[in-house]
């Protein structure tokens, strides 16, 4: 069984809880006192992940770090439908990798601003917010044009992929870093679509979608 080293308020940990919930996978949780205890920088944890970052999983003796890498692993191993990470479609895999890297950019900006405001991390918060807005603008346009073409998700597929999961949490939590989403209507519609996927689960700061509007 997968063991997840987890912190409730971490959007990166939530990515994995979300995918595992949608796939209906059972897993064990080891809570890490990320704040205020900084347990992810403790000696024992650094042996698990020398970068001192969450999340980490253990599965069948494999220790894996990095939310995006773990999404790829879990989807490849545990998704019988093969849709979350379609290994046989090179173009789609390229697109997914592109947006997984984009998700890392969201972590470096929107998540950083949230850590500054909520947990007092010292960093240039104005630069972080500006960086997040730049990425949100790019994603909003991408999603808007997708909607015109009948595409609901980030990548060119009729279903969500791990790229959608990877981008979702720190967009939803952006207001905690002083980054409003009023100007990104296509992002807001995409977030609601993602919340309606079967098996969707919440984390603190993210609420379920309301009932879908009648067509």
Partner 1 sequence: MSPTKCQDQVVLDLWHPLAALEEVPARTVQDTVLLEERISYVSDGEGKAAVWRSRPDLPAGSPVDIDTLGGCLPIKLAYGYIWTSLGTPPAELFPIPEYAEADRRKLNAATVGVNVSAPRAIENFLDMGHFPYVHTDILGAEPHTEVKEYDVELSVERDEIVATRCRFFQPMASTASTGGADVEYIYRVPHPYCSVLYKSSPVDESRLDVIAVFLQPVDQEHVRAHMMLCVLDEENEDKVIKRFQQTIFGQDKPILENQFPKRLPLDPRAETPIRADKSAIAYRRWLSQKGVTYGVIPAAT
Residue ranges that bind partner 1, judged by CB under 8 A:
7-9, 31-33, 35-37, 39, 117-120, 175-176, 178, 203-205, 207
Which DSSP category does 56 fall into?
A: E
Comparison of 104 and 175: residue with beta carbon closer to partner 1 = 175
Comparison of 82 and 180: residue with beta carbon closer to partner 1 = 180
Q: How far is the CB of 118 from partner 1 (least distance, A)?
A: 5
Q: How far is the CB of 137 from partner 1 (least distance, A)?
A: 22
Contacts of 59 (CB under 8 A, 6+ apart): 1, 2, 3, 73, 77
Which of 122, 111, 106, 123 has its CA nearest to residue 178? 111
- In whole angstroms, what is the distance from residue 8 CA to residue 33 CA? 9
- CB burial readout 187-197, b (16+ within 10 A) else e: beebbeebbee
Q: How far is the CB of 129 from partner 1 (least distance, A)?
A: 13
Comparison of 37 and 199: residue with beta carbon closer to partner 1 = 37
What's phi and psi for 157, nearest 5 deg? -150, 155
Comparison of 7 and 153: residue with beta carbon closer to partner 1 = 7
Measured in residues, the chain has a length of: 215
Q: How far is the CB of 88 from partner 1 (least distance, A)?
A: 39
- In whole angstroms, what is the distance from residue 208 CA to residue 73 CA? 26
Q: How far is the CB of 106 from partner 1 (least distance, A)?
A: 18
Comparison of 41 and 159: residue with beta carbon closer to partner 1 = 41
Peptide bond preceding 210: is omega within 30 degrees of 0, i.e. cis?
A: no
């Amino acid at each position: 069984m997968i063991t997840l080293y987890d912190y409730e308020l971490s959007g990166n940990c939530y990515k994995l809880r979300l995918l595992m919930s949608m796939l209906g996978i059972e897993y064990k949780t080891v809570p890490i006192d990320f704040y205020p205890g900084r347990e992810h920088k403790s000696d024992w944890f650094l042996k698990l992940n020398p970068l001192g970052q969450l999340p980490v999983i253990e599965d069948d003796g494999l220790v894996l770090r990095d939310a995006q890498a773990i999404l790829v692993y879990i989807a490849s191993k545990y998704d019988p439908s093969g849709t979350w990470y379609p290994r046989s479609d090179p173009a789609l895999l390229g697109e997914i990798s592109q947006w997984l890297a984009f998700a890392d950019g969201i972590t470096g900006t929107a998540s950083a601003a949230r850590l500054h405001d909520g947990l007092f991390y010292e960093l240039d918060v104005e630069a972080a917010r500006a960086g997040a807005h730049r990425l949100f603008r790019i994603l909003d346009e991408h999603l808007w044009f997708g909607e015109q073409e009948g595409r609901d998700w980030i990548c060119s597929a009729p279903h969500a992929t791990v790229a959608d999961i990877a981008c979702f949490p720190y967009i939803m939590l952006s207001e905690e870093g002083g980054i409003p989403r009023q100007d990104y209507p296509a992002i807001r519609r995409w977030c609601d679509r993602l919340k309606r996927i079967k098996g969707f689960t919440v984390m603190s700061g993210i609420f379920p979608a309301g009932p879908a509007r009648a067509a």
